[in-house]
Structure 1
Amino acid sequence: MSNKRYKIQNAPFVVPTTDGKIIKEHFGRATDGNSQISIAHMVAPAGWSEPFQTPEFDEYTFIISGKKQFIIEGDTIILSAGESIKIQKNTRVQYSNPYTEPCEYLAICLPAFSMDLVNRED
Structure 2
Amino acid sequence: GFNWQLFNRFTREQNIVTAISSADAARAVAEEARRAVLADLTSRLAELDAARLRILITQRSVEASQEDLRVQQERYRLGVSTILDVLLTTEQLNQAEVDAVNARFDYLRAKAGIEALIGRAL
| Same fold, TM-score > 0.5, yes or no | no
**Which one has the largest radius of gyration?**
2
> TM-score if structure 2 supplies the norm length?
0.17
- Greater helix share, 1 or 2? 2
- Greater strand share, 1 or 2? 1
